């Protein structure tokens, strides 16, 4: 499987991270990569993340921050839509309760 095929096999929201992190991991020695993969499941996620980030170039770190910002913007938009929908639901239920009380 090629790097491109591996990245394409990821869920779409993880592909930007795969495009960024895979080259970083592939620069590691075979021994370092094997050690990371063997221990990643047992190590805290933030320790694994820091290990990858420490290996990034400055340009890769900038791109990582851009991906993070884009992800947060998307989450904020989704949250805003959810809150709006919850408010609509609350006020429609409140209106129905008030109509029932008036009748």
Q: What is the 3-state secondary structure (H, E, C) of 28-73?
A: CCHHHHHHHHHHHCCCCHHHHHHHHHHCCCHHHHHHHHHHHHHHHH
Q: What's residue 57's pLDDT?
A: 95
d(CA 18, CA 9) in angstroms, rounded, equals 10
Q: Which residue, 41, 56, 71, sits at the end of a domain?
A: 56
0.85 cut: is pTM over it?
Answer: no
Is 8 found in the same domain as 52? yes
Is 66 found in the same domain as 84? yes
Is 52 found in the same domain as 6? yes
**Minimal CA–CA distance to 55: which of 16, 22, 19, 25?**
25
Question: What is the domain range of residue 43?
Answer: 1-56
Q: Mean pLDDT per 10-residue run, the chain (103 residues)? A: 92 92 93 88 87 94 94 92 92 88 80
Q: What is the count of structural domains for the chain?
A: 2
Is 74 found in the same domain as 94? yes
Is 99 found in the same domain as 51? no
């Amino acid at each position: 499987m090629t790097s491109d095929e591996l990245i394409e096999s990821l869920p779409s929201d993880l592909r930007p991270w795969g495009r960024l992190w895979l080259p970083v991991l592939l620069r590691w020695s075979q021994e370092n990569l094997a050690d990371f993969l063997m221990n990643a499941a047992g190590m805290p996620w933030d320790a694994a993340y820091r290990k990858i980030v420490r290996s990034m170039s400055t340009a890769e770190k900038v791109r990582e921050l851009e991906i993070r910002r884009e992800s947060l913007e998307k989450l904020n938009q989704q949250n805003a839509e959810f809150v709006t929908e919850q408010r609509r639901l609350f006020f429609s239920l409140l209106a129905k309760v008030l109509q029932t009380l008036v009748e």
